[in-house]
């Protein structure tokens, strides 16, 4: 049995070292090949129970965690707040205590409140994976982004990467701003002033052409209207900050394009560019998300499996 992961939970990129991140990416590599096979069944999590508790809607993250667990042989149960006692006013604490009493072996949680995953982890006897907490972190998205970049470009160290759009409210950006510099990337943040963080540690650009110029990766973000106190004025947003073939070819002709989804086609990215497999790695991100989440489930349950 390989060594257990040196962390009990995966609550964020914060607290992980570069070797921790690289260990997860290396563990995910064989699962990427495994998932291309005709038969996708591995029994190492057989007899273990995985609960996916998603208090926010999700397509990519929820289903990839479910598929990942099932391919590893786990008994996977999805918790649906709309059909639970949450609708009757049950607190997150009581929900967590209830789930813990059912003795799961791993819990995956997404919640609209910053810090919710850490709060729940403090109550659980099993490992917890943060699948997104408010505008806090989304660690497995950052991990799959790193794996996608490494597989498409052969490395991360020394690459110029622009994260563009609603950086301020994006938990994906928050995790990538921690992980990518640890792995040696040069990061840039691009967007209108209202959507950039207040005290960034990376260079910021309000001019998109300048921000993406010469980059190896251009990562686009959706505007997070649901996390804004006020609605952003959207007039001319696509002209100024939407990514098109023309902008990419002129300012970053060798760059790949990424997006964590869901996309607003015609707002932050043109549909034709998103669908261009020669430039776009968006579907690679989705595919590799399953492999990364298989690696995380495997790593975090090794101590329980003995």
| Residues 304, 99: Cα–Cα separation, whole Å | 18
- Closest alpha carbon to 261 in 288, 297, 298: 288
| Residues 74, 269: Cα–Cα separation, whole Å | 37
Ranges of residues in the chain with a pLDDT under 50 are 1
- Identify the structural domains of the chain with CATH numbers, from first to last: 18-137+286-305 (3.40.50.1370), 139-283 (3.40.50.1370)
pLDDT in tens, 218-264: 999 998 766 555 555 666 889 999 999 999 999 999 999 999 999 99
- pTM equals 0.95
Residues 90/94/99/100 CA torsion (nearest 10 deg): 180
| Residues 75, 300: Cα–Cα separation, whole Å | 16
Q: List the Cα angle 37/40/45 in 5-degree steps.
A: 145
User: Would the CA dihedral through 19, 16, 135, 72 be positive or negative?
Assistant: positive
Check if the beta carbon of residue 10 is closer than 8 Å to that of residue 296.
yes
Q: According to the model, what pLDDT value does residue 73 have? A: 98
pLDDT in tens, 82-118: 767 787 788 999 999 999 999 999 999 999 999 999 9
SS3 2: coil
* 120-155 exposure pattern, b = at least 16 Cβ within 10 A, e = fewer: bbebbebbbbbbbbbbbbbbbbbbbbbbbbbbeeee
């Amino acid at each position: 049995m390989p060594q257990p992961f040196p962390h009990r939970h995966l609550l964020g990129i914060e607290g992980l070292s570069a070797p921790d991140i690289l260990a997860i990416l290396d563990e995910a590599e064989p699962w990427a090949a495994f998932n291309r096979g005709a038969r996708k069944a591995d029994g190492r999590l057989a007899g273990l129970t995985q609960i996916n508790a998603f208090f926010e809607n999700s397509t990519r993250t929820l289903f990839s965690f479910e598929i990942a667990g099932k391919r590893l042989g786990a008994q996977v149960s999805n918790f649906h707040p709309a059909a639970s006692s949450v609708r009757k006013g049950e607190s997150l604490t009581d929900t967590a205590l209830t789930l813990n009493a059912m003795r799961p072996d791993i819990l995956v949680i997404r919640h609209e409140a910053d810090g919710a995953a850490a709060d729940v982890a403090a109550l659980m006897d099993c490992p917890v994976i943060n699948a997104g907490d408010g505008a806090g972190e989304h660690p497995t998205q950052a991990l799959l982004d790193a794996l996608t970049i490494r597989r498409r470009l052969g490395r991360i160290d020394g690459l110029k990467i622009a994260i563009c759009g609603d950086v301020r409210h994006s938990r994906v950006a928050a995790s990538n701003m921690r992980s990518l510099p640890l792995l040696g990337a040069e990061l840039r943040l691009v967007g209108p002033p209202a959507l950039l963080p207040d005290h960034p540690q990376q260079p910021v650009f309000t001019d998109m052409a300048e921000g993406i110029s010469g980059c190896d990766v251009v990562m686009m973000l959706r505007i997070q209207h649901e996390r804004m106190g006020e609605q952003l004025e959207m007039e001319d947003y696509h002209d100024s900050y939407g990514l098109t073939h023309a902008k990419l070819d002129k300012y970053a002709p060798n760059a790949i394009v990424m997006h964590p989804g869901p996309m607003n086609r015609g707002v932050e990215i043109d549909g034709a560019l998103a669908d261009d497999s020669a430039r776009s790695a968006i579907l690679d991100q989705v595919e590799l998300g399953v492999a990364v989440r298989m690696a995380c489930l495997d790593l975090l349950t090794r101590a329980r499996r003995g």
